[in-house]
Structure 1
């Protein structure tokens, strides 16, 4: 049975009678067999930020979950900044990734040369292969950050109950080698973002601390996506902090890419309720 998706109703504020607008939105995904609520996508309109709206909608969502889903025991979320001491009194850090965001300027022509030497290297997995691999002791203990599957800022425990969530995401799974891989990459399908009219974003999470293996999987993910896409591509790659600088250097040396956003940390936080 598919894990349910819970959409909290947006907070609505009216400026005058007969007029209102959406000012904030947050969603919740139930995972881990319904035991955990993953809070996602908190957004507040720019002109109303800093006025307590984010806190209000977070409290509303928390109360909604407690009232309608009493079986939930924990709340998990991802934040793009280091937690403050005050935050750490409420949440524990269970995983951390570092983001490298780049655009595809000059990248497509470089890929053809890179792919010539990649025979016998990274392998694209079938859905069945991926679901078997992601639950193995080797991957859970040696590759996953904090023993957590992270895809597109959704932190999931490596449980069979979460496979349906991953299945719905239509991910591209690539490993550096078939047996006991040193790197595993999950790539999301491209989706439109309001950066410019033809902008598409791709998120790639690569698990592992072997720089050579991470770079090989990164290149293989790009080779899987880029040839069939048109437009302005923003490629956000999330890796372990130990390999971030090496991956950045690899991009500079081999692809002459333009960096969209430099070093950026993502922290996965969890609290009991």
Structure 2
């Protein structure tokens, strides 16, 4: 399809051979921790995804994709980017229109469009979308030469306020059983939505199965896993400081988290991104789950690797998470992720 703007623009399915050109227009996106360089070829192999490029004068000038979720009734927009020299000329709007027209023609069962966006959303986007949910974002940089000290520090901070069973990895069948319990599902996902690795989903069974095919690590803590007695002899000031943000109650709700293995990002050679998604409201469980995922990431990290760690959590957990990660180098990025949804008009 062509768009007869100031320059002739053609919209085409993206291919493996477009990779270098797509990367060439992606410099600086997501503060140097862009996921697309690592995910591009994986996305091409996903049967539920479609990827497109816009070409003008034989050059790639834009990229966009959508993923079919919720059993085929929703399309999630991901990866949108426009070449620097084409920004401000309406190309982003036009490639999205092309995606919508493709959905109407090839996937008539799709009725909703969903996406995640960072803070400071343009009013024009908010005016045509519904805000489904938002997550607080805390990001830190963990350099290779501090990884061992970091995990030791996080372990000490956790032990000063929490004595309980460690989080337990869950199989797909166990996760589905958890979500079959309406009370548990409501506690973990109050609006029936989840954001995994920037992907906005509902708790629909097919979405959970999709995540399982991607090798997502699910980790769960039962309410009874949380005990109330700090370790004897722990530093009293540490207990006082962290207890301010911790509710130690065996009657609390359970806690679920997930992450993918750390993946390389363009920021610098040897830098990997780790996304940790937290579901629940208990600060002590949040700390235990962060430690679990960071420890696992360090275990599988290639030699010499450093980590940019993003933690996505409910807003009520922002201060406890920041306090738990205090002293680690903040990574300058967005502080909030919004989940938007709109109707795909026929």
Q: How does 1:99-110 map onto structure 2 within 5 Å? A: 99-105=137-143, 106-110=146-150
The structure carrying a bigger strand percent of its residues is: 1
Map of 2:273 onto structure 1 = 201
Compare 189-198 and 119-128 and name the one that shifted more: 119-128
Which residue does 1:93 correspond to in 2?
131
Instruction: Specify the alignment match of 1:227 in structure 2.
Output: 299
The whole-number CA distance in structure 1 between the counterparts of 2:319 and 2:73 is 37
Query: Residues 36-78 of structure 1, C-alpha deviation per residue, up to 9 Å, x if partnerless?
Result: 1111111122333222211111111111111110010111111
Distance (Å, rounded) in 1 between the aligned partners of 2:60 and 2:301: 33
Displacement of 1:204: 1.1
Give, in whole Å, the separation in 2 of the partners of 1:47 and 1:99: 30
Give the match for residue 32 of structure 2.
Answer: none
Higher CA-based Rg:
2
Q: Match of 1:54, SS?
A: helix
Match of 2:325 in 1: 251
User: SS of the counterpart of 1:120?
Assistant: coil
Question: Which residue of 2 is the match for residue 240 of structure 1?
Answer: 314
TM-score between the two structures when normalised by the length of structure 1 = 0.87
Which of 166, 178, 199 is the matching residue for 2:211?
166
- Give the root-mean-square deviation of aligned CA atoms: 2.2
CA contact (8 A) 1:99 1:263 kept: yes
Structure 2: distance between partners of 1:189 and 1:86:
36
In 1, Cα distance between equivalents of 2:190 and 2:265: 27
Deviations 1:196-246 (A, max 9, x none): 111211111101222222111111111222122131211111111111122
2-structure distance, mates of 1:181, 1:108? 31
Alpha-carbon offset, residue 264 of structure 1: 1.3
Aligned to 1:182: 254
Contact 1:143/1:183 (8 A) holds in 2: yes
List runs of 5+ in structure 1 lacking aligned partners: 15-19
3-state SS, counterpart of residue 9 of structure 1: strand
SS of 1:233's equivalent? strand
Match in the other structure for 2:186: 141
Given that 1:151 and 1:205 are in contact with CA atoms closer than 8 Å, whether structure 2 keeps it comes out as: yes
Partner of 1:122: 167
TM-score of the superposition, structure 2-length normalised? Answer: 0.70
Q: Which runs of 5+ in 2 are unaligned?
A: 1-45, 225-251
Check if 1:12 corresponds to 2:55.
yes
Kept in 2, the 8 Å contact 1:174–1:186? The answer is yes
Contact 1:4 1:30 in 2 (8 A): no
Aligned residue-pair number = 263
Residue aligning to 1:17: none
Retained in 2: the 8 A contact 1:145–1:207? no
